[in-house]
Each structure stands twice: as C-alpha cells, then as structure tokens.
Amino acid sequence: MFTGIIEAIGEVVELTPKNGDISLRVRTGKLDLSDVALGDSIATNGVCLTVVDLPGDGFRADVSRESLSLTTIGQWRAGQPVNLEKALTPTTRLGGHIVSAHVDGVGEVVSRVSDARSERFRLRAPAELARYIAHKGSVTIDGTSLTVNKVEGAEFELNIVPHTLAETIMGHYGPGTKINLEVDVLARYLERLLQGDKAAATDSDITLEFLTKNGFNR
C-alpha cells in the first residue's frame, strides 16, 4: 500500500523484452534505497512493482503482460522521468489517501492552463471508470494522490500547486499525455456493498441514476 505522496522522480534506464513481457530498470535519483530489499514494492508512475535486483543506482523489476495491458509502461522509453514512492510503513504519515498502486486504466490529459501560480489540468478517464470519480474525491494520477475539483461526464479537473509540479512528473504533462489512473478503492467497495445480494450476479443494477437517487452522486 502507498499514500500517493511522491518521494522522488526517477528515470527509466532500459526496458528489456523477456519471453512476452519485459524487465524494467529504473534509476531512482534521491530516493533512499537503504531500507529496500529484494521483494519490496515501489510504486512507479502509480504501478506497484516488485524489486528483483538492486544494481546500486536504482532497481530492476519484471513487468507482466497484465501490467503492460492496463498501464502506460508499454509506451515508456529510456530517459523518461517517473514518479517514485516506496511502500508505506505503520509509522508513515498518510498525507494522501490509501493507494494500492494497482492501476485501473489509462486516462489522457485533455488540456492544461495556468491559474496564477497553479496549473489547471483537465483529464479524461475511461468510460468504465468515470462513475468512481467524484467532486472533491481522491484520484491517483501516475501514483500522485490528488483532489478532484470538477467532474463533467468522463472528464475531470485538477488544480496543481507549484510544489506538486516541481516534485512530480506533472510538469511534463500536456494535451494528449497518457496517464496511469487509479480510482479511490473506497468507491469500488461502496459500489459492491450497494449491490447487496446481487453482488454475485453477472449483471449489475448499479447505475448513475441509482447512485444519484441514493445520495451518492451530486
């Protein structure tokens, strides 16, 4: 588990194809690896990766075909910056929200405009994930815990302050940028609970109209 508070910006060193999936090597920059062991998890642009090698200046991880199909990793190239966060400990400050780093899908930056010292981003989520994104709710973008400022259908807006722009890769975002998106896990559990005994059924009766009627959507 993670908090969505980025600890460092790393850099993709290489992606090596291996029997249908890939081996990924990341240089971790200022991230302290002194307490990281083989088998530990590091969220990389919001993707939970297991450390299989520690070459000294970073780590290496194997990326499965499942992860390649649900994230932007297949589009990464050597030299690309990535957000990094080590797994939380019992004494970690929960400055963001509960993040599993199990990416739900790939979204896209629609627009970016300046607003005083902040930047306002508009993003588009995959249609099947839009119902989990709520006004003033939490969402994880490339591993960064963020607050949703506005929602219109499958599109939503974020206000990003200078510190977040400087300490994450969001400063590199522009229209068309693909991002790893993880919705709030509480929203998923809420949907499941609302189904009650119907949760085991093949078809779900939970719709936007149902959520609005029951006070879960504004």
Residue 200 lies in a domain: no
Q: Is residue 1 one of the residues assigned to a domain?
A: no
Which of 75-84 are b and which e, b meaning 16 or more Cβ less than 10 Å from the residue's Cβ? ebeeebebbb
pLDDT of the residue at 202: 57
The answer for residues whose C-beta is within 8 angstroms of residue 150's C-beta and 6 or more apart is: 135, 156, 157
Q: Taking 90 as the threshold, does the pLDDT of residue 121 lie above it? A: yes
**pLDDT given for residue 206 in this prediction:** 60
Condensed to tens digits (0 to 9), the pLDDT of residues 31-59 reads: 999 999 999 999 999 999 999 999 999 99
Last residue of a domain, one of 86, 114, 139: 86
Calculate mean pLDDT across residues 137-163: 96
Domain that holds residue 162: 105-183
What is the percentage of the chain residues whose pLDDT exceeds 70?
91
pLDDT beyond 70 at 210: no
Q: Is residue 208 part of a domain?
A: no
State the pTM of this model: 0.85
* Residue of higher predicted confidence among 194 and 148: 148
Q: How high does pLDDT run on average in the chain? A: 91
Is residue 154 one of the residues assigned to a domain? yes
The DSSP result for 23-42, as a single string, is EEEEE-TT---TT--TT-EE
The dihedrals phi and psi of 114, each to the nearest 5 degrees, come to -80, 145
Q: How many of the other CB atoms lie within 10 Å of CB of 104?
A: 22
Domain for residue 98, yes or no? no
Residue 212 lies in a domain: no
Q: Is residue 156 part of a domain?
A: yes
CATH of the domain at 66: 2.40.30.20
Q: Which amino acid is at 117?
A: R
- Same domain, yes or no: 15 and 77: yes
Q: What is the Cα–Cα distance from 118 to 164, expressed in whole angstroms?
A: 9
At 6 the three-state DSSP class reads coil
21 lies in the same domain as 65: yes
Reply yes or no on whether the pLDDT at 201 is more than 90. Answer: no
Read off the pLDDT of each residue in 28-33 and give the average, rounded to a whole number.
Answer: 96
Kindly report, residue by residue over 157-182, the tens digit of the pLDDT. Answer: 999 999 999 999 999 999 999 999 99
SS3 state at 122: strand
Domain boundary among the residues 35, 55, 86 is at 86
